[in-house]
Structure 1
Amino acid sequence: MFSADHLRFFLEVSRHGRLNDASRVLGVDHTTVGRRITSLEKAAGHRLFDRTPSGWRLTEAGRRLVGYAETVESTLIAAFEDQTTSVGSLTGSVRIAAPDGFGAFVLTPQLTRLRRDHPRLDVELVTATEHDALSTRGFDVAVSLERPSPRFMSSRKLASYELKLYASPSYLRAAPALESLDDLRRHVLIWYVDALLDVVPLRILDAMHLDGRPQFQTNNITGHWLAARHGLGIAPLPNYIGEPDDQLVCVLPDEFAVRRDYWTAMPRDLTRLARVKAVDDLLRSIVADDVHLLAPDADDQ
């Protein structure tokens, strides 16, 4: 028969794709997880997973069940939260997913505000700039460079920012003259590893029509920032990283400024949770206070 406990096992297997991984989260043996799934499939009258060498994959029936199971899960969590949380103080844990730049340079310094208000709330911050960062249910609140799919997601535009070109004064003194975008062909460019860059909004160098590839490539924005600061070359950086840094100079500001957007995403079944609302409120407050981030208009959501 169907039960909330069976659905809990079902959700963890759907999220992790392997019994061993799901069993670690659930704190039981993997054979117990397998028995629960088999029992649930018998009650449903059809398979919920295809067992493959690479893992357990949801069938069409399984995919239909996920949304309902997550609704049950979030209702139980909200009920528990309501009964156990003191007024004004949250417990448990919340996982936030964000691109490297936003997560490291914008969100992390402001998490003290969340900790001050909710000292018993554990915060997990996962940073990655990847196209499929939102493809699996591995977060409670996410920030993305791409507009999330509306399927099972509640989303809105969070902020806009600008990518500009930055270099250190020492690099510029030793490098060839830089008066136009064409001159960049004679300079060292710093950017992502092309073969690993699958986020369309960041494929900005293609639009610059430069010959060849960046001479220094790394797969995270902290590497771009440090390389530029230490005189390795010129890096496109978010203005919220480049402008506050007195060891960097913005170059060609009138010729190169690319606006990009951040979006927030939350699984629809989690939007009622107090800890998710607290993170969403924090994100809105951060954007409102940051001079380098532009909050969206009321009709630009």
Structure 2
Amino acid sequence: MDRKQSDTEIVYDDYLDDSWRRTGWAELPFFLAVARAGTFRAAAERLKVNHATVDRHIRALEEAYSVRLFDRKARGVTLTAAGRNLLEKAKAAERTVLTAKRSVSGMDAKLSGEVRLNISSWNAYYVLAPNMPRFHELYPDIDLKVTVSDRVEDLTKSPSDVSYRAAWSVDEDVVARKVYSYCAAVLASEDYIKQHWDSRGPNGEGLHWIGKSTLWPNPKLDDTKLFSGAARRGEVLDPILINELLKHGQGMAIVPVCTLLVVPVLSVVPGTPVVPDRSVWVLLQSDLRHTARVRAVVEFLCEMGKNTYKREKELLLSSELMNA
């Protein structure tokens, strides 16, 4: 049946009625939560419902499809072959719904509403946190939902609207703005250097690496084979924990040189170079590039990053660093 409104033709597929509601549509979020969490209880915690609610929705979905989607075991659940088949399709449906939401919400020109930001832990703690009071002062009606993660996510498959991260390059189908490029160096506490430097062996024996080239290797420093005889103290992947271990004199690590700005007891290890590293990028979903609140967040992040770059540049020009 066709119905017309003004000059726009709106076609209603009346023959479909509401039968799609009986295809398990409402149950798919519960299915995805269980598949990702591995247990009904963990899925219930994520969804902020009780265990029985999750179980009821999964049973309803299995009944609608006439197939078992999970094998229930004492320590959790695993997907059946049918469940694995459904998982990819459910993820695609989830992405479609999220894209539709962003497209519709993007029509709002007001500086208000929710913006979901994914940011690395180093930038979250040392760059974003000190700037949050100013953000709330400038944009009191923007609800910034922050997710902290050091795992490089594909923004096109993520629920995040904006991502602030370091990378050599960006190949995703998103809007990307390079904010600045930073440098890396081998840092250690001044006390650690005083205690271990003079007694080191010819290849760094007696020194210690804290998760050398932890999250993302820097080829320019790795290729120099610095202190090949130094012992390695664990595979530490968390940048904040690395900084704490450095601060407490547990060894050396390759980290952004601007760490010197936030952990002042550190120094560049003598005789080691300061080299270019990755660039910091602000990425956003392409369908949100004209949304006022998202643009405001992006501009704020870019300004925040440029201020960090300015401070690093001043640090690199300082006589204290150049003589380290």
Q: TM (normalized to structure 2)? A: 0.62
> Displacement, 1:106?
1.8
Check whether the contact 2:95–2:157 (CA below 8 A) recurs between aligned residues.
Answer: no
Check whether the contact 2:117–2:145 (CA below 8 A) recurs between aligned residues.
Answer: yes
1:235 pairs with 2:253: yes
Q: What is the 5 A alignment of 1:74-153?
A: 74-76=99-101, 79=104, 87-90=110-113, 92=114, 94-119=115-140, 121-130=142-151, 137=158, 139-145=160-166, 150=172
CA 190–220 in structure 1, closer or farther in 2 if over 3 Å, else same = farther
Cα separation, 2, equivalents of 1:272 and 1:27: 33
Match of 1:201 in 2: 217
Given the alignment, which residue of 304, 312, 322 partners 1:286? 304
> Displacement, 1:136?
8.4
Matched residue type, 1:101: W
Structure 2 portions without partners, runs of 5+: 1-18, 314-324
Cα separation, 1, equivalents of 2:78 and 2:294: 29
Cα separation, 1, equivalents of 2:191 and 2:123: 27
> Displacement, 1:248?
3.1
> Displacement, 1:29?
4.0
Matched residue type, 1:129: D
1:236-281 CA-partner distances (Å, limit 9, x unpaired): 2212212565533323576352512445556677777766554433
Match of 2:11 in 1: none
> Displacement, 1:220?
2.8
Cα separation, 1, equivalents of 2:135 and 2:277: 29
CA 29–214 in structure 1, closer or farther in 2 if over 3 Å, else same = closer
Given the alignment, which residue of 163, 170, 174 partners 1:154? 174
Cα separation, 2, equivalents of 1:264 and 1:184: 40
Q: TM (normalized to structure 1)? A: 0.66
Cα separation, 2, equivalents of 1:38 and 1:271: 40
Check whether the contact 2:185–2:273 (CA below 8 A) recurs between aligned residues.
Answer: no
Check whether the contact 2:184–2:257 (CA below 8 A) recurs between aligned residues.
Answer: yes
Cα separation, 2, equivalents of 1:78 and 1:48: 35
1:84-117 CA-partner distances (Å, limit 9, x unpaired): x9x4333x5x554433322211222222233223
Q: What is the 5 A alignment of 1:16-55?
A: 16-37=37-58, 39-40=60-61, 49-51=69-71, 53=73, 54-55=76-77
> Displacement, 1:13?
4.3
Check whether the contact 2:207–2:230 (CA below 8 A) recurs between aligned residues.
Answer: no
Local SS of the residue matching 1:161: strand
Check whether the contact 1:228–1:235 (CA below 8 A) recurs between aligned residues.
Answer: yes
1:224 pairs with 2:242: yes
Match of 1:255 in 2: 273
Local SS of the residue matching 1:75: helix
Check whether the contact 2:246–2:253 (CA below 8 A) recurs between aligned residues.
Answer: yes
Match of 2:14 in 1: none
Check whether the contact 2:185–2:257 (CA below 8 A) recurs between aligned residues.
Answer: yes
Cα separation, 2, equivalents of 1:70 and 1:269: 13
Relative contact order, higher structure (CA 8 A, sep 6+): 1
Q: Report how many residues are paired.
A: 282
1:18-40 CA-partner distances (Å, limit 9, x unpaired): 43334344444444444445555
Check whether the contact 1:142–1:264 (CA below 8 A) recurs between aligned residues.
Answer: yes
Cα separation, 2, equivalents of 1:22 and 1:5: 15
Given the alignment, which residue of 184, 191, 211 partners 1:163? 184
Matched residue type, 2:129: T
Check whether the contact 1:95–1:123 (CA below 8 A) recurs between aligned residues.
Answer: yes
> Displacement, 1:161?
1.8
> Displacement, 1:148?
7.3
Q: What is the 5 A alignment of 1:262-301?
A: 262-264=280-282, 276-290=294-308, 291=310
Q: Based on CA coordinates, which of the two structures has the bigger radius of gyration?
A: 2
CA 27–100 in structure 1, closer or farther in 2 if over 3 Å, else same = closer
Cα separation, 2, equivalents of 1:18 and 1:158: 41
